Amino acid sequence: MRKTMKTERLHVTEDAYVTASEKFVAKRGHQAMRHLIKDKLQQGDDMRPFYIANLDDIVNKHKHWVKLMPRVKPFYAVKCNNTEPVVKTIAALGAGFDCASSAEFQQVLKYGVETDRIIYAQTCKDPEEIKHASERGVDLMTFDNEDELVKIKHLYPHARLVLRILPQVQKAVLKMGKKFGCAIKNCKGLLLKAKELELNVVGISFHVGSSCLDAFAYEHTISLCRGIFDMAKTIGYNFNLLDIGGGFPGFETEEKLSLSEIAKAINNSLEKYFPEGENVKVIAEPGRYYVQSAFTLAVRVIARRVERPDSYHDDPSDRDDAQKTFMYYLNDGLHGSFYVHIVFEKHAPDFYLLENKDSMPVFQSSLWGPTCNPFDCITQEIELPELDIGDWLYVPNMGAYTTVLLSSFNGIPTPKIHWIA
């Protein structure tokens, strides 16, 4: 695992590190977050890890999106964070939803979301789930292969279908092309098959990969979509839906591609290839954009091991303290909130100390999860001041693909969520 954090990241002044979209932390600084966490700690004796989840951040993200891309209606990807307050807030804001299963569309339907605000964006569906979609009238769904078309023909022949294509430019932290998306060269054959089956294909979707690193990926794929819209016309399809998927940043730093840069590229491409008069509805499926910065995780050091280059039996007075390194065991890890970071992103998020230890020397350290799994390691390399058992750290930007993946492996309790707004 890469080196993820330098001590100076820990000790930056209040607003130097945080970003525009992280409204709570950015506006009121780490000081406020520290107060909040301390407040929660004083309120109870439950020593589990916990999240501070700020619903205002989600509202602000939505407003920011609408301002930057008024033509692109967001369909929030429920898989990213399906906690009830999050989904209800986004429903109340009037956004649509990208659902990956019947459990997800039943959840949003329960909150009063109409079926025309749902896309069942899963190209390889369980036939049982297609039946549920048909029963509930969730008729807009994606496909990328012939077998799926045959299944849909039998189970939901009147569904409105969206062909998911494989973008040719995939510069993202998590690429999706191996599992999903019809290669451009195969689109015509697939659409001909759909026509032969008398299915109703209404548009195209794509996903450039999660945490996109290059706005050109959207630009290029939108231009490809234009070609497929035109080709589809020759087959007899008059598409009216373009779904530009997810991949938008969950929080912003100076190094990362910002939503405004992406929006600029998307708006220009839409103007060029899908001018407004054409009446093509444009939607997107943002997941991490909506929720990542809204959640801050607080974790506790539950154990530690001090490693020294000198032998254990050496005279303690001879030990060279500057050489020691620390292994810290936290009460959350691979089987909890850090699954995506450890398994997919191979990069730990930034950690901050609840109590400032600015003036203290720093040591090479590593952070481990609480389970017996030897791979439960959050980062092998981090510079930290000496921490004690019982010390708390916090981690901003933990709202995406975290709560949805929590397990209680080894009987370890999962984090609580404290909601603020």
**Does 287 engage in binding with ligand PLP (CB under 6 A)?**
yes
Helices and strands counted in the chain (H then E): 12, 18
Residue 290 tokens, joined: 């909506």
# residues contacting ligand PLP (CB under 6 A): 16
Q: Dump strand ranges (E) for 31-95.
A: 50-54, 72-77
Closest separation in Å from C-beta 173 to ligand PLP: 9
One of 10, 26, 53, 77 touching ligand PLP (CB under 6 A): 77
Closest separation in Å from C-beta 135 to ligand PLP: 22
Residue 149 tokens, joined: 């078309």
Within its chain, how far is the Cα of 309 from the centroid?
40
Binding mask 360-389 for ligand PLP (x = CB under 6 A): ------------------------------
Residue 234 tokens, joined: 């020759």
10 Å CB burial of residue 111 (0-12, 13-18, 19+) is middle
Annotated active-site residue in 80, 187, 212, 372: 372
The residue range among 49-57, 82-90, 242-250, 376-384 that interacts with ligand PLP, by the rule CB under 6 A, is 242-250
Q: How many of the other CB atoms lie within 10 Å of CB of 137?
A: 12
**Does 288 engage in binding with ligand PLP (CB under 6 A)?**
yes
10 Å CB burial of residue 114 (0-12, 13-18, 19+) is exposed
**Does 204 engage in binding with ligand PLP (CB under 6 A)?**
no
Phi, psi (rounded to 5 degrees) for 230: -65, -40
Question: Which of these, 187, 203, 206, lies nearest to 240 by C-alpha position?
Answer: 203
Question: Which of these, 328, 352, 340, 344, lies nearest to 406 by C-alpha position?
Answer: 340
One of 65, 156, 237, 248 touching ligand PLP (CB under 6 A): 248
**Does 286 engage in binding with ligand PLP (CB under 6 A)?**
yes
Q: Is 225 a catalytic residue?
A: no
The residue range among 60-68, 105-113, 143-151, 239-247 that interacts with ligand PLP, by the rule CB under 6 A, is 239-247
Binding mask 100-139 for ligand PLP (x = CB under 6 A): ---------------------x------------------
Q: What is the largest CA-CA distance in the chain?
A: 85
One of 80, 86, 225, 384 touching ligand PLP (CB under 6 A): 80
Round to whole Å and give the CA distance between 364 and 4: 12
**Does 259 engage in binding with ligand PLP (CB under 6 A)?**
no
One of 74, 203, 247, 369 touching ligand PLP (CB under 6 A): 247
Determine which helix (DSSP H) or strand (DSSP E) holds 234, and give its type and residue range: helix 216-235
**Does 207 engage in binding with ligand PLP (CB under 6 A)?**
yes
**Does 206 engage in binding with ligand PLP (CB under 6 A)?**
no
Residues that bind ligand PLP (CB under 6 A): 77, 79-80, 98, 121, 207, 210, 245-248, 285-289
- Residues tagged active-site: 372
